[in-house]
Copies of this chain bind each other. A is one copy, B any other.
Amino acid sequence: MDVTIVTVGRPQITLNVTRGAARLLADLGYAPLAEVSLPNGRRADLMALGPKGEIAIVEVKSGVEDYRVDRKWHEYLPYCDRYAFAVAPEFPREILPEEPGLLICDGFGGAVLREAPATPLAPARRKALTIAFGRLAAMRAAGVAATSLEG
């Protein structure tokens, strides 16, 4: 009997986890937008807008190395009410910090393993981010390949 072992590469894991996290966010009532460049130059893998205007950012980590080379998660906090990591089921989650939320996702959906604590945005920044999110999303819907959130 021939056995074929299929190893899933890093880009494919990122794609799967991102898709699953987007579906999970939608299930939770958040409208997600992928690849959003923030005013400070960081790029959010997913930014999502909740029914009451809550802003969530989710960072996808495809593997240990991906996490180790990019520990700048604090830099996302000024742009959201809640921040979470999203990883595949096989990711060694004990290496992740405990402060952010944690989503376990595959290509079809996901589950909230640890809810992100809420640290509400200041009103002026929330307003600016909400407007910028809406404008970027509308441009995306119109087929414009825009990525940057305006100031």
Tell whether, in the assembled complex, residue A131 and residue B22 are in contact, meaning their CB atoms are under 8 Å apart. no
The size of the chain A interface, using a CB distance under 8 A, is: 24
Residues on B with C-beta less than 8 A from A100 are: none
Number of chain copies forming the complex: 2
Tell whether, in the assembled complex, residue B141 and residue A51 are in contact, meaning their CB atoms are under 8 Å apart. no
* A151 CB → nearest B CB, Å: 9
Residues on B with C-beta less than 8 A from A136 are: 31
Residues on B with C-beta less than 8 A from A133 are: 134, 138
Is there a chain B Cβ closer than 8 Å to A127's Cβ? yes
Given A130-B130, A130-B131, A131-B130: A138 and B53 interface contact (C-beta under 8 Å): no
* A144 CB → nearest B CB, Å: 8
Query: Would you list 17 pairs from A and B whose C-beta atoms are within 8 A, ordered by A residue?
Result: A22-B142, A31-B142, A32-B142, A33-B138, A33-B141, A48-B138, A49-B135, A51-B131, A52-B131, A53-B127, A127-B127, A130-B130, A130-B131, A130-B134, A134-B134, A137-B140, A141-B141
